[in-house]
Structure 1
Amino acid sequence: MAFSLFSSKNRIVNIVLNDHSIRYLELKHANPPTAQKWGERFLPPGIICDGKIADMDSLVNILDECIDEWKIQRRQIRFVVPDQLVIIRKVSVPAEIQEDEMKGYLYLELGSSIHLPFEEPIFDYYLLSQNEKTKDLLLFAAPEQYVMEYANLFSSKKLTPVAADISPLALYRLYQQLGFGKENEILFMIQFDLTSVNLCVFEGTVPVVMRPFALLFNLENWEIQRYSIGTMDIKYTGEADELVIQFEDIINEINKLMDFYRYSLNKEKNGISKFLLTGDHPMLRAVFDEMKERFEVHVEQLSVVTGSNGKSGSIPASLLLTLGLALKGVK
C-alpha cells in the first residue's frame, strides 16, 4: 500500500515534513528498529499550511540548511505525504477487472462513479475482499499537484525521491515490527502532533478510515529550543485552559469516530480493541493519562530504545513516524 509513484532502492534517508517541522532519520537495522542518525528542525508558521507548501522560498532555504547540517547531500529519500492531503475510501469494482487492469480502470472511474474532493489524484489501492460479482478495494488518494511539489522540491536539491508513504501505515509498520500487532485487532491510532491530530482505525493491518484535523497554534504560547544533538524541546507557556479546551475537542472527535466506525462501518460487529497514542505534542503524557481515565479501552504508547553515535535511551517520540517510514520495504 501507499503511493507507487517512485521505484524503491537502497541507502535511503527518511524525511517527514509537517506544518511545524522537518525531520530526518537513517536506519541502522530493523530488528529491533534502531536509528543510526536523526535530526529535526522547527518550521515557523506560514511555511507549510494544512500540508500544502505556502512559502516555497523559505522552505527551500531551511531545507538547504538541513541538508548541509545533516550531511545528506545527493541521497535517495522517502517522504510522507501530509495527512491533510490523503483520502482513504472503500470502493467496489466488477469482479472481472484483473490486477493488471485495475489502475487503468480506477483512473477512468475517478470523477464518474468514484468521487474525490480533488482532481488529478495520485492513488494506490488494497484488495479487501471479493466475490463472484465485485471486488472491494481500499483506495488511497492524494492530489498529485501537491505531492509533486514535495517531490520536485527534493529533486531540485539533488535528493532523489524513491518512495512516498502515508503516516498511519508508517506508524503501524513500527508497531508491528515491535511485535504489538494482532491479527484480529481493531486498533484506533491517534497521532497527536503540535499543530494537528490524525485519527485512524485499523482492522488488522489495514487502515479503513482516517480523519485528520488541525489544531489552533499560536507561536507566542510556545517556547522552542534546539539542542546541539539535533532535537527540539517545545514547552507550552500559555494559559492552561486553552489546552484543556483543545483536549476536550479531541476527545469529542475520538468519540465521534468510534461511533461512526461501530455503527456505520462495522455494523456493530466489533468495537475498538486498543488505542495507540503517538505524536510529537509536548503534552502527550497528559493526554495519555486523560485517555486512560476516560475510556475503558486499553491505551498504549510507542517507545523505542536505541543508541548510536553518542545518542542513547529512547528515541524521541517526535521521530517515531520517521522511524516507521524507514522500515518501508524491510522484511
Structure 2
Amino acid sequence: MWKRLFSSNKARWQLGLHVLPYAMRLTDVRRKDSLSIRKHETIPLQSGMVENGRVRDKEWVAFELQKKVLEWNCKGREVVLSVPLSTVVIRWLQIPRVPDKEIRDLVDIEIENTLHLPFTHPVFDYVKLSPEHAHLPGLSTLKAPGDEGPQEEKLSLLVVAAPQAAVQSFVDVARAAGLKPVAADVEPLALYRSLEVEWPAIAGAGTMLLNINLSGVDVAIFSGGIPEFIRHIPLSVPFFDETDVTTSLALAQHAVSHMEREGTYGGYLHDLLAEVNRIMNFYQYSMYEGRQKVEQICLTGDFCDLAGLAGHLQERLLAPVYIPGYKHFLAAGDDFAGPAFAVAVGLGLKDVSGL
C-alpha cells in the first residue's frame, strides 16, 4: 500500500481521504499546471467511531462516507487513505547492496529479528536513501553471512511500518463506501507533499511540521525531504467535545481567541510548548549530539487563527514559524481552509501509477 512514498501525482484527478478521530476530510485534487481542488468536505464522526488509530465501527463510518460518495457521484473512484501517525513507526536500516527484488525479503528479516516494532503483524514499505542521508542517526546494520567488516558497500533504507489491522480497517471502510483504495500514506508525508510547491524552504535541514488538530498534535522533522522524527502528541484543545464535534469544529474557526476568552489558552500553550521543546531538544542533542537543530517550523491544522499561535511559538521556541497561505491552490468555493485540508490534499497528490 505504501509504494512510491515520496512521489507526486501530476496529471489526473484523485481522491484523498484523511481520517481523524472526530472527522473525515475528503478532497478531489489534481496537480497539472497548478494545484486544483475540485471538491472538499469535512464529515463529522460520532464519538468512538475511530479510536486508537483504527476504525471501531466500520459499518457506521462507511455509511457516513458513502453519503458523500453518492453526493459527489464518485463511486468506484480511486482513493489514497491516511494512516494515523499514532500507529506509525519509522526505522532506518543499512543492508548489503543487493538487487532490488531481494530488498523486501531482507527488510522482512530485519523487522522480525532486530527492529523491535511495538506491534505484531506489521505492514511496511521502504525507500532507498541517497548517499547524503546515509548519516541518519539510528541506522542499524544488517550483515550478510560472511560479512566481516565495513568494506562492503551498504544500502541505506527508510522503513515505515504500521499494524496491519489498523490499516485494514480504513481500507475496509473505503471499499464499503464504494471507493477503490489504491494506497495508504503517512500523514506527515502527505502534508509535506502539499507544502513543497508553495514553500521551497521545506527541503532544508531541520524542518519541523506541526499539524495541530482538535484531539492532538502530529509532529514530524524532515531534512532534505526525509522524515527523521515523527511523534503524535495526544493533546486535545480545551474546547474539544467528542460528543459534539460540529460545535468543536465551528469553535476552531477562532480557536485562540475562544480559548483566551475562556481562560484556557495559557494552559494549552504551556503544555504544547513543553512537548514541542522536549522534541526539539531530543532531536538536537540526543539524535544529532548538537550538530543539527530544528531550524524552521511550519504550522497547519484545524485552527483558522493560527497566526496568534504562531507568534507565541516563534517567541518561545526561537525558530521562525511559517503558516502556509496555499496561494498555489485553486480551490472550488470560498470556504476552503487550506491548513485543515493540507493532509487530505497531499494524499490526493500521491503518485499511485504502476501500483
Change (3 A) 1:165 1:220: closer
**Matches of 1:320 and 1:78 in 2, distance apart?**
14
Alignment partner, residue 189 of structure 1: 209
Per-residue CA deviations over 1:290-327 (Å, capped at 9, x if unaligned) read 11221221110112144555x14864421121112222
User: What residue in structure 1 maps to residue 40 of structure 2?
Assistant: 38
Q: 1:46-195 residue pairs with structure 2 within 5 A? A: 46-93=48-95, 95-128=96-129, 129=131, 132-133=151-152, 134-181=154-201, 183-195=203-215
**Residue in 1 aligned with 2:314?**
292
1:244 equivalent in structure 2: 266
Q: How far is the alpha carbon of 1:194 from its aligned partner?
A: 0.9
C-alpha distance in structure 2 between counterparts of 1:296 and 1:136, whole Å: 33
- Corresponding pairs, count: 322
How far apart, in 2, do the equivalents of 1:314 and 1:156 lie?
A: 27
Q: Determine if contact 1:307/1:313 at 8 Å carries over to the other structure.
A: no
Cα separation, partners in 2 of 1:308 and 1:153, compared to 1, 3 Å: closer
Give 2:297's aligned residue.
Answer: 275
Taking the aligned partners of 1:330 and 1:282, their CA distance within structure 2 comes to 31
| TM-score after normalising by structure 2 | 0.81
* Post-superposition CA distance 1:8-34 (Å, at most 9, x none): 995421111111111111114444322
Change in 2 beyond 3 A, CA 1:222/1:62: closer
Deviations 1:273-292 (A, max 9, x none): 21011111355333212112
- TM-superposed CA distance for 1:267, in Å, is 2.4
Query: Larger deviation: 122-131 or 159-168?
Result: 122-131
1:326 has 2:326 as partner = no
**2:286 maps to which residue?**
264
2: CA distance, partners of 1:5 / 1:35:
22
Whether the 8 Å CA contact 1:222–1:234 is kept in 2: the answer is: no
Counterparts in 2 of 1:224 and 1:29: CA distance versus 1, 3 Å = same
What is the aligned partner in structure 2 of residue 4 from structure 1? 3
Tell me how far 1:109 sits from its aligned partner.
2.2
Aligned residue number for residue 229 of structure 1? none
Q: Distance in 1 between matches of 2:244 and 2:270?
A: 20
Moved more, 22-31 or 11-20: 22-31
Larger strand percent: 1
Distance 1:55 1:283, change over 3 A: farther
Instruction: Give yes or no for contact 2:27–2:348 (8 Å, CA) kept in 1.
Output: yes
TM-score normalised by length of structure 1: 0.86
**What stretches of structure 2 of length at least 5 have no aligned partner?**
135-149
Distance 1:185 1:122 in 2: 29
Cα deviation 1:158-203 (Å, max 9, x = unaligned): 2111111111111111221224235543201111111110111101
Deviations 1:182-239 (A, max 9, x none): 554320111111111011110110001101122246417977359xxxxx63346678
Q: Distance in 2 between matches of 1:313 and 1:60?
A: 25
SS of alignment partner, residue 250 of structure 2: strand
> 1:285 & 1:43 partners in 2: Cα distance?
28
Matched residue SS, 1:219: coil
What is the RMSD computed on CA atoms of the aligned residues? 2.9
CA contact (8 A) 1:122 1:142 kept: yes
- Matched with 2:16 is 14
